[in-house]
């Protein structure tokens, strides 16, 4: 059964039992907008408010450690998680995940077609997605994530399109 709960993860122990979740997909705030906004309105859905809840990187990493710890507690022994983050915080996220006890299986680079706007720097065209597991015995349904892709080959004067599942 799939159940979506739209509430703070810090309230999750009230309704999610320990070792009961197969998979987490987490896309937390990235703390890229700078210092804390004094007039936060998290109910507005504004990314600037969502991303400016912390006074410092230390506060952001402490917050991150806490929700990741809860995630680890609630993940089944054979469960896995995907955690999105920008390049700036990716190394610290890896350390936090390892400190909590996750097994790092992969760092996936998610390429976006359009970068986030910047007038004083290169546009960010990707983000990291950490694939982690709670144990070495985990579920990975490779056939469910295969994506068909087309390969275009030029052989002489002919174009040949091959389809592949991997």
The total number of structural domains in the chain stands at: 1
Poorest-pLDDT segment among 16-25, 28-37, 104-113, 130-139: 28-37
Is 144 part of a structural domain of the chain? yes
Burial class (CB in 10 A: 0-12, 13-18, 19+), 97: buried
| CATH number of the structural domain spanning residue 70 | 3.40.50.150
* pLDDT on residue 54: 84
Residue 2 within any structural domain of the chain:
no
* Residue 35 predicted with pLDDT over 70: no
Q: What is the per-residue pLDDT for 77?
A: 97
Structural domain contains residue 3: no
State yes or no: pLDDT of 118 exceeds 70. no
Instruction: Judge whether 16 lies within some domain.
Output: yes
**Assigned domain for 102 exists:** yes
| Residue 4 counted as domain residue | no
Residue 34 lies inside a defined structural domain of this protein: yes
State pLDDT tens for residues 48-80.
667 778 888 999 999 999 999 999 999 999 999
Average pLDDT over residues 119-132: 82
Non-local (6+) Cβ contacts of 37 within 8 A are 48, 49, 52, 53
pLDDT confidence band for 7 (50 / 70 / 90): confident
Q: Residue 50 belongs to what H/E stretch? A: helix 47-50
The distance from CA 40 to its chain's CA centroid, rounded to whole angstroms, is: 24
| pLDDT band of 44, cuts 50, 70, 90 | low
- Residue carrying structure tokens 């952001």: 60
Domain that holds residue 124: 9-164
Compare 38 and 107 and report the one with higher pLDDT.
107
């Amino acid at each position: 059964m799939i159940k979506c709960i739209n509430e703070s993860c810090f309230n999750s122990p009230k309704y999610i039992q320990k070792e009961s979740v197969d998979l987490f997909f987490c896309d937390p705030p990235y703390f890229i907008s700078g210092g804390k906004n004094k007039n936060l309105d998290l109910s507005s859905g504004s990314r600037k408010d969502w991303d400016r809840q912390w006074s410092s990187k230390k506060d952001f990493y402490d917050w991150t450690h806490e929700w990741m710890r809860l995630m680890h507690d609630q993940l089944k022994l054979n469960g896995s998680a995907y955690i999105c983050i920008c390049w700036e915080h990716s190394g610290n996220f890896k350390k936090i995940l390892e400190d909590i006890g996750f097994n790092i299986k992969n760092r996936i680079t998610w390429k976006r077609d359009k970068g986030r706007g910047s007038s004083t720097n290169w546009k960010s065209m990707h983000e990291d997605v950490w694939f982690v597991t709670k144990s070495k015995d985990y579920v990975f349904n490779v056939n469910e994530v295969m994506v068909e892709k087309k390969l275009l080959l030029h052989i002489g004067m002919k174009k040949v399109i091959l389809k592949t599942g991997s």
